[in-house]
Amino acid sequence: MSFRGNEGAAQLDPLAQLRQAWGPVVAAAIAAAQGSPEAAAQLEPFLQDLASQDDWSALAGILRQILGGARQVALLE
């Protein structure tokens, strides 16, 4: 599964671009948080890539906390 396939995204409105880009990530994160080891394995390379980027490393850490079982509202702040 690829989380970076945004071909044709330039033709979409900004909200549709976000849905196209992040929809598969959100779906995989939900499945992984619900216990799917396959989804967690698919997410790991994406999370490693995010963690290596200064602008996105905090999000990678928060997603890992959620996948690890954290559910505090404070994660969203």
Cα–Cα distance, 75 to 66 (Å, whole number): 8
Nearest to 62 by CA among 16, 25, 18: 25
Three-state DSSP at 75 gives helix
pLDDT tens, per residue, the chain with 77 residues: 567 655 555 577 999 999 999 999 999 999 999 999 999 999 999 999 999 999 999 999 999 998 988 888 887 77
Report the predicted TM-score, pTM, of the whole model to 2 decimal places: 0.75
Domain limits of the chain?
A: 10-76
Tell me what pLDDT residue 77 has.
79
Cα–Cα distance, 36 to 49 (Å, whole number): 21
The contacts of residue 57 (CB under 8 Å, 6+ apart) are: 50, 51
